[in-house]
Chain A
Amino acid sequence: MTNEEIQGIFFLECEEALALAEEGLMACQSGTADGETVNSIFRAVHSIKGGAGAFSFTLLQAFTHKFETVLSYVRDGDLALGDRLTGLMLRAFDVLSDHVASVRGEGPSPDDEAVSAELEEVAERAAAGLPIEEMTSDDVGAASVTAAADEASADDFGLDFDLDDLMGELSLDAGEAAAMEAAAAEVERRLEDGEAVVAVASAPVTDVTDMSSLPISASLHGWHVALSFADGALANGNEPLLMLRELGELGGSCLSVDASALPSLDQLTVEKSWLSWEFALPASVTRAEIEDVFDFIGDDCTLKIEEMEALPGSGPVSVTLPAYPPVAAPAPAAVMASVPAPAPAPVIVQPAAEVKSAPVPVAPLKEAAEQIPVPASAPPPSSATVPATASSAPRPVSSVGQTVRVDLAKLDRLIDTVGELVIAQAMMAQRLGHNGAAVTDEMGMLDQLTREIQESAMSIRAQPIGSVFSRVPRIVRELESSTGKKVQLTMSGESTELDKTVVERLGEPLTHLIRNAVDHGIETPEQRIASGKPAEGQLHLSAEQRGGRILISITDDGAGINREVVLRKARERGLIAPDAQLTNEEIDNLIFAAGFSTAQQVSNISGRGVGMDVVRQNVKDLGGRISIESRPGEGCTFTLALPLTLAIADGMIVTVGDQTVVIPLTHVLESLRPEEKDIDGIGQDLMVLNNRGRFLPIVPLSNATGARGALTNPGEGVLIVVDTEGHGQAVLKDEVRSLVRVRRLNLLGVWPIKRQFDVVFCRNVMIYFDQPTREKLVARFADHLAPGGHLYIGHSERVSGPAQQRLELVGNTIYRKVEA
């Protein structure tokens, strides 16, 4: 594996981590966050930091460190989540995203000074125990002992390293060092906080002495304090953790933790305190102040305060661990090498940081132990049970799941083949039908199964639209700060799935529409208040599947489209004739005209007039359509209607006069023969169908196809109710013939078709190609025609090139393949 490839993996992980973190932050913002949410944000940021260290992305690493510090306070409950903090974290997230983009070479290094400073300030306040906005739930009395214990132990378990984090790093030379560095940073931070209640052992940490080379910054002092807590300390309602923090607040730093007394898990009593500490405190603190900390605990604490002469300076923190055998995860092979053979599979062990000596309150250890699946029939050997400070579930499974990366070309081949299968099945069914073999159960089953295969093949390519939606909150935040407008964003239907290609190409038009909605649609808070609306604008983004289409709508409650201005501009720019009379809808649609922009001022957000026509083009390229519904003064909705897939469509064959056409079945809601009373006229030229109280305009299909001799009286023909972007309309047909399947085929691409056809219709398509392409195409048609098969082409086309030899003209525009 080259370094680039490993970096590539890191970038992918960054992406996942960022998505995870953003999801969590959104939950924080909407107030649905719980302890696990903060944990998952922390883990995400942390894993980026780990990788950044390994690849020497120092700026990214430094920033993630600051971010992580604040997050750890939040997670520990030292900081309460409030608007200000959430806002800060969101901004930090944006900067983090920029940092990641910058190391990927996708952008300049962001200016993180302001956010960094704020993060540091918050961290300092938290360290000092000052509230950021609300009172923290921290500190106090016996009642909170359990809670504090939980928090503390949550540290010990959720902390430091993810499995994937390590796996990424272990395969690197620098990996281990980086991991240690990160661990060191963590130790350092916690020491500064004075809450180093825990000895931290790092990854394949068999060798604690590695850490002894780490410098410890804060240690100017004049006192040496050695302390341990008696067995009864916890029972008497004392909380050693709080005292250690207090020592930290006095400026103390932890010199060493002795965890050698810690027994193995099966002998562990949670009510006992197993650790002892040595602290260094500065000379500025008086002995009385130190003693005050331990005022209430009395005899439950063994305290030794000595004056110290030599400054330990950058002395090491020594951590004495009980002599446990090291723990290894079954997964990363790299770990195994340095470690004795681990226990057999049943014990799931997270390597790395999870291996820690227990803090004073140990209750959660038991929980963790209980989570380890140990089948009763196969009790694990003791070597696996002893260091049972391991917990399962190294990362949240919910959001990532198990995935396989597949080459897109392979996938497309599968989908093409499935397409062929579907057609072959349909042909077989048809042939059986012609030969009088009635539809058998087996045929029905085959039909069902083929459809299922087709659907699952399609769903492989499908992606939830959430991956595009997840960018939106950030765009909106940036717009908020650059425009000074207040916007509340809501989203729905993030799990709606559509084709991967569509999802990928949706980002740009969507971004544009969002910018437009905020820049043009939503008014400034002052204007909004003046017009009686709440100062905060609403922006709703939704996706839903309707029929064979995905509808994505962007709704704002802003001013809507100012039709007068639009009309005036359009006239000024000569987009329409000065005297043209336009309907409201036509006016609204003018904003899609090229070179149209009504922004009073060109901002860097939007207003250059190259916007909406590009959006429309993008959407068109995806086979979709865009429509606007503007309600002046109330807001505006843009709806994108996109095809679910570009591959296969069922169709309905219908006759219109002298023509036969196919209607994609995904658009068809129903077909019916109307009664006279269901038809109403609007004016002279338009008729509507009263479809159970809904009025649908009736469009004679012959208008569109130019068919001759078609029925014009809706009462005599068949109406097909079709659905286009949510507006229903009925199409008048003479007759519904049968159902067929239609597939798209790129004439110039690779054809997935293997068999030969009896008839090929390719009318008025070749005229768009140059001569060599036409000849090539004719040859291909000839190849795919069965001997005696027919080729129909358009009236303005002719068969040319070498393949001419194989096709004989048998009628106007009709050719037959010469028998071989």
Chain B
Amino acid sequence: MARQLITFRLGEQSFGLDIMTIREIRAWSPATRLPHVPSYVAGVVNLRGTVLPVIDLAARLGWEAAVPTDRHVIIVVQTGGQLRGLIVDAVSDIVTIQEDAIQPPPTTGHDAVVPHLEGLVALEDRMVMVLDMPSLTSDVTLPEAA
């Protein structure tokens, strides 16, 4: 079965997200900080009247928090009926892959990224890590602000 992924960069590494989970991609705009939220929640932004939480993906994956600039991008995803924004460095491409081309993530090693991976996929000579959206956002139980 073919699937389409949107690939994007975060630091030096490439990630992929299933295109079906993505609502839109928009330029970075400053987020409003929220009190008492996990450190990787960068705040909330107003998306045409809908207020949605924005997650700093780098921080979520256990890396250093991003210092957002105008070059950063927010990918708006829909998961479990809720909208989330993900801060990433840059969106790269839309690619089509076969379902069976996705390799399972490594089971050894203990990087914080691994639990959030659906799998790995080889694109030409790059490796793209396919993110498992539900696991990324499952513990962010923010009330719908709107």
**Is B truly associated with A?**
yes
A696 to B109, CA, bound (A): 11
- Measured between beta carbons, the chain B residues less than 8 angstroms from A685 are 109-112
Q: B122 an interface residue at 8 Å Cβ cutoff?
A: yes
- Measured between beta carbons, the chain A residues less than 8 angstroms from B109 are 682, 685-686, 697, 699
Assess A681 versus B12: contact at CB under 8 Å? Given A686-B106, A690-B125, A695-B103.
yes
Q: B98 an interface residue at 8 Å Cβ cutoff?
A: no
Contact A688 B127 (CB under 8 A): yes
Residues 42-63 of B contacting A (Cβ, < 8 Å): 61-63
Contact A677 B125 (CB under 8 A): yes
Assess A697 versus B12: contact at CB under 8 Å? Given A583-B114, A682-B129, A690-B122.
no
A585 to B61, CA, bound (A): 18
Nearest B residue to A703, CB-CB:
B109
Minimum distance in angstroms from B97 CB to a CB of chain A: 13
Contact B61 A683 (CB under 8 A): yes
Q: A693 an interface residue at 8 Å Cβ cutoff?
A: yes
A680 to B61, CA, bound (A): 16
Minimum distance in angstroms from B117 CB to a CB of chain A: 8
A contact residues, total (Cβ < 8 Å): 21
Q: B120 an interface residue at 8 Å Cβ cutoff?
A: yes
A115 to B63, CA, bound (A): 68
Residues 665-714 of A contacting B (Cβ, < 8 Å): 677, 680-686, 688, 690, 693-697, 699
Contact A729 B106 (CB under 8 A): yes
Nearest A residue to B64, CB-CB:
A684
- Measured between beta carbons, the chain A residues less than 8 angstroms from B125 are 677, 690
- Measured between beta carbons, the chain B residues less than 8 angstroms from A84 are none
Contact A686 B12 (CB under 8 A): no
Q: A410 an interface residue at 8 Å Cβ cutoff?
A: no
Q: Taking chain B's interface residues, is the majority helix, strand, or loop, or is none over half, making it mixed?
A: loop
Contact A583 B106 (CB under 8 A): no
- Measured between beta carbons, the chain A residues less than 8 angstroms from B126 are 680
Q: A727 an interface residue at 8 Å Cβ cutoff?
A: yes
Contact A682 B13 (CB under 8 A): yes
Minimum distance in angstroms from A223 CB to a CB of chain B: 77
Contact B122 A693 (CB under 8 A): yes
- Measured between beta carbons, the chain A residues less than 8 angstroms from B113 are 682-683, 686
- Measured between beta carbons, the chain B residues less than 8 angstroms from A677 are 125
Q: B107 an interface residue at 8 Å Cβ cutoff?
A: yes
Nearest A residue to B117, CB-CB:
A682
Contact A695 B127 (CB under 8 A): yes
- Measured between beta carbons, the chain B residues less than 8 angstroms from A693 are 122
A150 to B106, CA, bound (A): 63
Partner of A684 from the list B62, B104, B108, B129 (CB cut-off 8 Å) is B62
Q: B115 an interface residue at 8 Å Cβ cutoff?
A: yes
A685 to B62, CA, bound (A): 10
A344 to B105, CA, bound (A): 71
Contact A681 B13 (CB under 8 A): yes
- Measured between beta carbons, the chain A residues less than 8 angstroms from B63 are 683-684
What 1/0 mask marks residues of chain A from 579 to 618 whose CB sits below 8 Å from any chain B CB?
A: 0000111000000000000000000000000000000000
Nearest B residue to A677, CB-CB:
B125
What 1/0 mask marks residues of chain B from 84 to 120 whose CB sits below 8 Å from any chain A CB?
A: 0000000000000000000111111111111101001
A683 to B112, CA, bound (A): 7
Contact A682 B122 (CB under 8 A): no
Minimum distance in angstroms from B138 CB to a CB of chain A: 10
Residues 3-24 of B contacting A (Cβ, < 8 Å): 12-13
Partner of A583 from the list B108, B115, B127 (CB cut-off 8 Å) is B115
A696 to B129, CA, bound (A): 13
Assess A688 versus B122: contact at CB under 8 Å? Given A681-B13, A683-B61, A683-B111.
no
Nearest B residue to A698, CB-CB:
B109
Nearest A residue to B108, CB-CB:
A697
- Measured between beta carbons, the chain B residues less than 8 angstroms from A585 are 107
A677 to B126, CA, bound (A): 9
A690 to B111, CA, bound (A): 18
- Measured between beta carbons, the chain A residues less than 8 angstroms from B12 are 681
Assess A694 versus B103: contact at CB under 8 Å? Given A683-B61, A685-B109, A686-B109.
yes
- Measured between beta carbons, the chain B residues less than 8 angstroms from A686 are 106, 109-111, 113-114
Minimum distance in angstroms from A677 CB to a CB of chain B: 6
Minimum distance in angstroms from B108 CB to a CB of chain A: 5
Minimum distance in angstroms from B102 CB to a CB of chain A: 11
Contact A696 B122 (CB under 8 A): no
A584 to B105, CA, bound (A): 12
Minimum distance in angstroms from A41 CB to a CB of chain B: 43
A685 to B120, CA, bound (A): 16
A558 to B127, CA, bound (A): 33
Contact A680 B107 (CB under 8 A): no
- Measured between beta carbons, the chain A residues less than 8 angstroms from B127 are 680, 688, 690, 695
Contact A680 B13 (CB under 8 A): yes
Contact B62 A697 (CB under 8 A): no
Minimum distance in angstroms from A400 CB to a CB of chain B: 44
Minimum distance in angstroms from A249 CB to a CB of chain B: 62
Contact A727 B13 (CB under 8 A): no
Contact B103 A682 (CB under 8 A): no
A585 to B132, CA, bound (A): 14
Contact B107 A696 (CB under 8 A): no
Nearest B residue to A585, CB-CB:
B107
Contact A699 B108 (CB under 8 A): yes
- Measured between beta carbons, the chain B residues less than 8 angstroms from A699 are 108-109
Minimum distance in angstroms from A13 CB to a CB of chain B: 48
Nearest A residue to B126, CB-CB:
A680
Assess A682 versus B111: contact at CB under 8 Å? Given A688-B120, A695-B122.
yes
A694 to B114, CA, bound (A): 16
Nearest B residue to A694, CB-CB:
B103
A688 to B107, CA, bound (A): 11
Nearest A residue to B113, CB-CB:
A683
- Measured between beta carbons, the chain A residues less than 8 angstroms from B117 are 682
Minimum distance in angstroms from A700 CB to a CB of chain B: 10
Minimum distance in angstroms from B99 CB to a CB of chain A: 13
Minimum distance in angstroms from A778 CB to a CB of chain B: 38
A677 to B122, CA, bound (A): 13
In order of increasing CB-CB distance, the 8 nearest A-B pairs are A683-B113, A697-B106, A683-B111, A686-B111, A680-B127, A686-B109, A685-B111, A583-B115
Add 20 more A-B contacts to A683-B13, A693-B122, A699-B108 (CB < 8 A): A584-B115, A585-B107, A677-B125, A680-B127, A681-B13, A682-B13, A682-B106, A682-B117, A683-B63, A685-B112, A686-B109, A686-B110, A686-B114, A688-B127, A690-B125, A694-B103, A695-B103, A695-B120, A697-B106, A727-B104
A interface residue numbers (CB < 8 A to B)? 583-585, 677, 680-686, 688, 690, 693-697, 699, 727, 729
- Subset of 19 A-B contacts with CB under 8 Å: A583-B114, A677-B125, A682-B105, A682-B114, A683-B61, A683-B62, A683-B111, A683-B114, A684-B111, A684-B112, A685-B111, A686-B111, A688-B120, A688-B127, A690-B125, A697-B109, A699-B109, A727-B106, A729-B108
